[in-house]
Amino acid sequence: MIHRNQDPKLQQIAAERIDILFREAKLNPEYANRYVFLARKIAMKLNVKIPKEYKMRYCHKCYKYFNSKTVAVRTNAKTKAVEYKCLNCKHVNRYGYSKEKS
């Protein structure tokens, strides 16, 4: 028996809605935090992963959408990571990077 959260059609619809919500968050900064909240709720309810490019757009502590006024971005060569510092809660989100192999 397929459970509700394992139905491939529902998971595809959820992924499309998450995509739409993050596109709208980029266009409407006034409602961006609400859109992030809704996208996370959809992902948790239907067990869908939020794509990495969208995960990097919000704080993982306070769940606020990042824009130019709410984030400080820098690279850390020591830990080989890009650091996103949320200016609302001061939490640092780190995303690793490595050199491309040639």
Q: Which two tokens stand for residue 101?
A: 């192999």
Q: Which two tokens stand for residue 24?
A: 């709208």
Bridge-based pairing state of the strands 92-96 and 81-86: antiparallel
Residue 5 pLDDT: 63
Residue 6 pLDDT: 77
Q: Where are the beta strands (DSSP E) in the chain?
A: 71-76, 81-86, 92-96
Residue at 94: amino acid letter: R
Per-residue pLDDT of the chain (102 residues; tens, 9 = 90+): 566 667 889 999 999 999 999 999 999 999 999 999 999 999 999 999 999 999 999 999 999 999 999 999 999 999 999 999 999 999 999 999 887 766
- Dihedral (CA of 5, 50, 85, 37) sign: negative
What domains sit in the chain, N to C, each tagged with a CATH number?
A: 4-96 (1.20.5.420)
Q: How far apart are CA 46 and CA 1, in angstroms?
A: 16
